Amino acid sequence: MLMAPDRARSSLATVLLLLVAAAVVVGAAAAAAAGKKKPVVPAVIVFGDSTVDTGNNNVIGTVLKSNFPPYGRDLQGGATGRFCNGRLPPDFVSEALGLPPLVPAYLDPAYGIEDFATGVVFASAGSGLDNATASVLGVIPMWKEVQYFKEYKQRLAKHAGRARARHIVANAVYVVSVGTNDFLENYYLLVTGRFLQFTVAEYQDFLVARAAEFLTAIYRLGARRVTFAGLSAIGCVPLERTLNLLGGGGCNEEYNQVARDYNVKVKAMIARLRAELRGFRLAYINVYDDMVDLIQHPEKLGLENVSEGCCATGKVEMGFMCNDKSPLTCDDADKYFFWDSFHPTEKINRFFAKGTTAASLSLLT
């Protein structure tokens, strides 16, 4: 039976529309597949403090949290426990290596081992190389982060099989960022008595020894490609500027010198471990020089304020003091180096992550 001309034209138009729609869907899928970067490594595994904690402190009994606005205001999904307006360096490193753009916190109940198989964070804001540092605010000490790593390996083996789990652990990139709290929230805060036990130089040696123990521990657990960040210019964080009354609110150069001396010792320790531990690829991340360069030349990143944080007055607030009730929080965090009185903005984290990514890639060859 022949169709009427109008009905025939209508049916033909419908077929053409379906073909066009199918082509669009196929094209979009192909474009998405082409744009998706193949993972360079199987996972990014993270240890340390608030510079890399993506939310572990949310679920432990500490006052040091950031899972509320305005933290996370520039992050899809809002406040996650990251001490920032957006993402942290490990997030950018993960994305650059072809992995998910957010690395989940190990204790976050919203994630499971299938998520952790491509990246996991054991870090805890407020932690340090010295166990006494973690006790100041009741956070996760580094030895416990190592215990979580052991537990993770067991869970990973059950999830992916032993062979695949060994492959992930051996070929992952490890990001370690820790040390600032040992000085600013422990030694110089005079709350643990370390300042009575050690001179500054002795405490530096003590911390470097703890760092070597930590790195050796994760090496024995299978880690082979590790980036270890030195201290930044800790005397230039807004909180220390505020407390530096005799210095007119400028950087505390005594603290900066301590950071430089500590970094020299860390680099020597890293060189020694490279020589002693077979197959251990260990890279030092020079945060200090990059930070000082941006503070001295803010125009390089279009920064307008490198001495105060964006949140509240930017002089002393972090954690619960940095909240959405403050009328003084800036509108554009991209103009600031610091988000709160202690931590960088997402823009700065993205910048620092480039160095860590480059170092990570160098460990693969």
Catalytic residues: 50, 340, 343
Q: Report yes or no: 187 and 202 within 8 Å, Cβ to Cβ.
A: no
The strand order across the sheet containing 173-177 reads 119-121, 44-48, 173-177, 225-229, 281-285
3 state SS of 283: strand
Rounded-to-integer distance, Cα 151 and Cα 248, Å? 49
Exposure letters 199-225 (e unless 16+ CB within 10 A, then b): ebeebbebbbebbbebbebbbeeebbb
Rounded-to-integer distance, Cα 144 and Cα 131, Å? 10
Alpha carbon of 262 to those of 165, 190, 200, 202: distances in Å? 35, 19, 10, 10
Rounded-to-integer distance, Cα 156 and Cα 166, Å? 9
Residue with tokens 């520039």, as numbered in its chain: 74
